Amino acid sequence: MSEGVLERTPGGAILLDGNRLRDETVARLRGEIEAAGSPAVCLATVLVGSDKPSQIYVRMKHRKAEEAGLISRGVELPESATQAEVEEQVAALVADPTVHGILVQLPLPAHLDAEPVLAMLPPEKDVDGLTERSLGRLVRDLPGHVPCTPLGVMRLIERYGIETSGRRAVVVGRSTLVGLPQVLLLGRKGCDATVTLAHSRTTDLIEVCRQADIIVAAAGQAHMIGPDHVRPGAAVLDVGVSRTSDGIVGDVDFDQVQAVAGAITPMPGGTGPMTIGCLLENTVAAARMLGAF
């Protein structure tokens, strides 16, 4: 683990603090931009409809972008916006040379098809890393933007010095948003973990997880990972978000697992903040790709 004072849970596990690392990332990016003469680096978001969580997420992204020294630009469309209207707005951002990163906030309203909207984004401006071209670049290990949430998991692993080379990792969840890119990132050269992809239909999930030095829980099932899943001393990173009668919870039963794990992310304050930090990191990288500095 990294040097310095590390916060620990009551059970003794190292707390993988995403809020802290996000703020370190914001400060680092601001320093890089200022050192380059403060070029205008622009992140544009497209928000359709009045979904409250989406509005909160977008506001937070803009606030942190401004703290990092970026220009943030928001396009907001009503719930009634048509497919053509959304695509027209995205096309304008794609064509604008002053915009370096574009994020289309998902989910879109039910009457809209997200796929053709995302397909409009060139890989250089796809700072969410969600298009088929961006994912293809990740598979081929070519320059591009990695999806922000799995990248945030990797940044936490790096920051807290969690060993990956030769270690066993289990990713629970197979979404194209998190699970599949997470497997690729953990297994790629330089990280060199041996990775197992598991999911809600894995029949021996407890036994599979107990073989792991690193567990990334990203299935979206509340508290599906308990202490029986975790080998003592393993690192556990929780990506799942579920809304329950008790509020928002993760895939990991934090109170129980923290007594067994060697390191663990809190919920909230773990991988979520790092999603925003990595969005800003990708936007600065996009500006470099596009020749802004």
Catalytic center residues: 61, 105, 128
Looking at the DSSP bridge assignments, the partners of residue 47 are 76
* Cα–Cα separations (whole angstroms), residue 232 to 19, 169, 236, 264, 265: 25, 14, 11, 12, 16
The CB density around residue 121, as the number of other CB atoms within 10 Å, is: 24
Q: Residue 150: which of 132, 137, 140, 138 has the closest Cα?
A: 138
- With beta carbons less than 8 A apart as the criterion, state whether 106 and 114 touch: yes
Q: Residue 178: which of 272, 245, 243, 81 has the closest Cα?
A: 272
CA–CA separation, 177 and 173 (whole Å) = 10
- Which helix or strand (DSSP H or E) is residue 59 part of? helix 52-67
The token duo for 235 is 């690192």
